[in-house]
Chain A
Amino acid sequence: MRRYFRRKLLVYGLTFFVAVTVNWMIPRFMPGDPVASMVARANMTQPQAVAAMRAYYNDLFGFDQPLWQQYLSFWGALLRGDFGLSIWLFPTPVGTVIADAVPYTLALVVPSVLLSWVVGNWFGAYAARRRVLDNTVLPIGYILTATPYMWLAVLLAWGLGVVAGLFPVAGGYSFSMQPTWSWAFLLDLLHHWALPFLSLFLVALGGWAIGMRNMIIYELESDYANYLSALGAPSRLIRRYAFRNAVLPQITGLALQLGVIVAGALVTEIVFAYPGLGSLILKAIQNSDFFLLQGTFLFIVLGVLIANFIIDIVYVVVDPRTRAGMAGADA
């Protein structure tokens, strides 16, 4: 058991290291000069002032140092929890900018991932036993799961937002409101949250339902199910066993899908101009904001890694076979 987790932690540590390195590299090899754009924003005409400002910024952000030194100091700052200053929102620290956006993304991703997983599994298992439902749910599920997130998002925004006028199509809350802990504001938040949530939820739902439906059919034809029916066990018991065993691969699937879902959430946020990490990434790219981009990526990588680790632990708890495998590895 301990060995299993040690190995897992090592793999996650390595992934983290590589992710941070790639994360550091990408913005530096991206076209565009962030300092030039900041200097340009200052609207200065005197060349001396421009040069002085350029030197000031280069010094501030450490762009005048050799690359390896930038890399090392990047790690150093990272370990101190210092993500640097945002260029786009200069001089707000990147940490603050991200902390403002993270609640929106979490509020979008966590419920849509968990709810779509639970509802999808339940629905798929149900469809596997009803022919009529199976014949309708399956095609719909395939269409949903094949739909790109942003496309469904655009459809929903157009249908439910623009045409039907039921939901706002942009923003995290109304422009007329200030974030406060009031019922009116929370309701407004929920109102803006509904459409992005729905588009994420629906796309993921189709995939889970199809996966579960296939797994349940497979499990119901397995030897243990046949044996139980030969002994006259009620189908309730057999279905319970089948559901439990069919859920296991779905948990693995959740771990595999997590990255995709997060990426989908980012795109969806952009469609709905939702003030989460996705919109932040877009802004960071548009403004050549290295530090913000790095900070956001890092946060997403960290989030996906942590979620995967949690799923690993859950899997060990629910599937005795992984535990048996570990006992074998220890021996």
Chain B
Amino acid sequence: MSLQVSDLRVHYRTLKGDVRALDGVSFDLADGEILGLVGESGCGKSTLGKALIRMDGRMRRTGGTVALDGEELPIDDDRRMNDFRFRRVSLIPQYAMSALNPTRKIRRLVAELLRSRGAAVDPAELESRMAHVGLPPAVLDRYPIELSGGMRQRMVMVISTLLDPSLLIADEVTSALDVSTQKAVARALLGFRDSGYVKSMIFITHDLALTHHIADTIMVMYAGRLAEKAPADVIVKAPRHPYTRLLLDSLPEVGVRYADRRLDGIAGSPPSLLDPPAGCRFRDRCPLAGEECGEDPPVTELAPDHHVACWKA
């Protein structure tokens, strides 16, 4: 078991009070597994990603534990967490295109970063990994500003995985890319896993269709909690949680004309996490909601590896 997250609660301190961005999330990630993390904006998926590598100043862990390869991660101790960052847990950030210092040549940038972490650059290895994502070695002698956005992002992918981390968090890496580049990035990430550059991966996105292509397991989050987690095919073909179903219904299908049938979104919006209502948080938007939904639905394993938090499932 590569990663074990149990009952993790992370709150944002604000002037109005605590925003419960993560409110008791538990899941496991096996060695070699790619987990697609899906949900609307504000559902807590990026918070989860951040919590696993670097919490910002407003974030507080209020409960739960995270263990990586059997060792507990000190996620709220910035200093101790440094030992794990990059070596054990690494990140491809949402802002990958602007993640490189514009005034350093890439070769020097990589060397300085590695040296600061007490590692040495293996030029042959670096170049072979760059070739893996289609970057010529000449890129090393360029400044980040001389590269296209896509090249910069691929360079960040290579840099982030240079120390073969156990866990890679890819946070919305495809959201700023065009469709053909998205495919290439997704394929490169799969390649990283298959070549053993990373052991397991959390792929955060709101693009369910793309996740389906690369993830082994998909976890759907809603309002700071887990809604449904199952193997990718199951989530797409036989979802049990009403939210997952509505999410899938709101995707356009190729070849279907929407002249007659309106493409449905999900009416309403997620509840405020400043003071969330009791019971199932999807209740107000759920077409199936009933009496029992006034109580928190427990996460139950309906079938092997198929976890759902819903009374009606």
Q: Which residues of A line the B interface, CB within 8 A?
A: 222-224, 226-234, 236-237, 241, 244-245, 248, 319-321, 324
Contacts and interface: CB of A to CB of B under 8 A. Distances in A.
Contacts of A222: 98
Contacts of A320: 102-103, 105, 143, 145
B104 A241 contact: yes
Given A223-B98, A230-B91, A231-B91, A324 B113 contact: no
A88 B91 CA distance: 73
Interface in B85-110: 85-87, 90-91, 93, 95, 98-105
14 contacts: A223-B93, A223-B99, A224-B99, A231-B160, A232-B81, A232-B82, A232-B83, A233-B86, A233-B113, A234-B116, A237-B113, A321-B103, A321-B143, A324-B146
A241 B113 CA distance: 11
A314 to B, nearest CB: 14
A251 to B, nearest CB: 12
B45 interface: no
Nearest to A227: B99
A231 B101 contact: no
B75 to A, nearest CB: 13
A232 B101 contact: no
Contacts of A241: 101, 103-104
A237 B112 CA distance: 8
A223 B91 CA distance: 13
A248 to B, nearest CB: 8
B154 interface: no
Interface of B: 53-54, 81-87, 90-91, 93, 95, 98-105, 112-113, 116-117, 143, 145-146, 156, 159-160
Nearest to B115: A237
Interface of B is mostly: loop
A321 B54 contact: no
Contacts of B98: 222-224
A232 B104 contact: no
A217 to B, nearest CB: 14
A265 B274 CA distance: 58
A232 B143 contact: no
Given A224-B100, A227-B91, 12 more contacts: A223-B99, A224-B102, A227-B95, A230-B53, A230-B91, A232-B84, A233-B113, A233-B116, A241-B104, A245-B102, A319-B103, A320-B105
Given A223-B95, A231-B90, A241-B101, A324 B54 contact: no
A234 B85 CA distance: 11
A224 B85 CA distance: 16
Contacts of A230: 53-54, 85, 91, 93
A321 B145 CA distance: 7
For the complex of A and B, list the 7 residue pairs with the smallest distance between their C-beta atoms, beginning with the closest.
A232-B85, A227-B99, A231-B86, A223-B98, A232-B82, A223-B95, A224-B101
B54 A229 contact: yes
Contacts of B143: 320-321, 324
A324 B93 CA distance: 26
A54 to B, nearest CB: 65
B116 A237 contact: yes
B73 to A, nearest CB: 13
A231 B100 contact: no
A319 B105 CA distance: 11
A319 B113 CA distance: 20
A229 B78 CA distance: 10
Q: Select the residue from A229, A232, A241, A320 with max chain B CB neighbours within 10 A.
A: A232
Contacts of A226: 93, 95, 99
A224 B100 CA distance: 5
A228 B145 contact: no
Q: Select the residue from B83, B101, B102, B159 with max chain A CB neighbours within 10 A.
A: B101
Contacts of A248: 103
Contacts of A223: 93, 95, 98-99
A244 B102 CA distance: 11
B204 to A, nearest CB: 14
A129 to B, nearest CB: 15
Contacts of A231: 85-86, 90-91, 113, 117, 159-160
Nearest to A321: B145
A228 B102 contact: no
A231 B100 CA distance: 12
A233 B104 CA distance: 16
Contact of A232 (B86, B112, B159): B86
Q: Select the residue from A224, A319, A321 with max chain B CB neighbours within 10 A.
A: A224
B103 A244 contact: yes
Contacts of B54: 229-230
A233 B117 contact: yes
A225 B7 CA distance: 31
Contacts of B100: 224, 227
A223 B53 CA distance: 16
A321 B105 CA distance: 11
Contacts of A229: 54
A29 B98 CA distance: 56
Contacts of A232: 81-87, 117
A270 B117 CA distance: 56
Contacts of A237: 112-113, 116
A222 B117 CA distance: 21
A315 to B, nearest CB: 12
Contacts of A234: 116
Nearest to A245: B103
Q: Select the residue from A222, A233, A319 with max chain B CB neighbours within 10 A.
A: A233
